[in-house]
Amino acid sequence: MPKRILEGAVVSDKADKTVTVLVERRYRHPVYKKYIKSSDKYAAHDENNQFKVGDRVQIIECRPISKRKRWMVVGGGEIPAAGKKAPAKASAPKKDEAKKQPAAAAKKEAEKKPAAKKAKKKED
């Protein structure tokens, strides 16, 4: 059976050679179709006490080390924070820029629309 790898943030490093990692995940509710965020805390083995509170780390499933510890820290630092998004592509136009028009062009369109409606009423 393959070992699971999770990533999360260190929320406690008070114990010797142990860190508590908060892993958040999002899933879609099967009935209500709403995305729900859930989180779990895992006690993970940190042999050299190198990770501090706030660090982003990866943990891997391993043999039981103690009563609560069944995970080991394998790395950290290169994982982007969960709240930060990747930069958007430069080629995609923004929605606001696409909607903006010069004031003169907007006035012309406004004048055309009522005139077209009046013409339709006269035809009927």
CATH topology of domain 5-76: OB fold (Dihydrolipoamide Acetyltransferase, E2P) (2.40.50)
- Residue 77 vs residue 83, higher pLDDT: 77
Secondary structure (3-state) at 63: coil
Between the alpha carbon of residue 29 and those of residues 22, 35, 36, 38, 104, the distances in Å are: 21, 6, 7, 11, 49
- What pLDDT score was predicted for residue 41? 98
- What pLDDT score was predicted for residue 86? 46
Of 50, 40, 48, the C-alpha closest to 70 is 40
**Distance from C-alpha of 65 to C-alpha of 45, rounded to nearest angstrom:** 8
Which residue(s) pair with 76 in the sheet? 57
pTM of this prediction? 0.59
| Model confidence at 96: pLDDT above 70 | no
- Residue 89 vs residue 30, higher pLDDT: 30
- What pLDDT score was predicted for residue 113? 60
**Distance from C-alpha of 82 to C-alpha of 96, rounded to nearest angstrom:** 26
- What pLDDT score was predicted for residue 99? 56
Q: What is the mean pLDDT of residues 9-34?
A: 97
The sign of the CA dihedral 116, 119, 121, 123 is: negative
Q: What is the mean pLDDT of residues 8-29?
A: 97
DSSP conformational letter for 113:
H
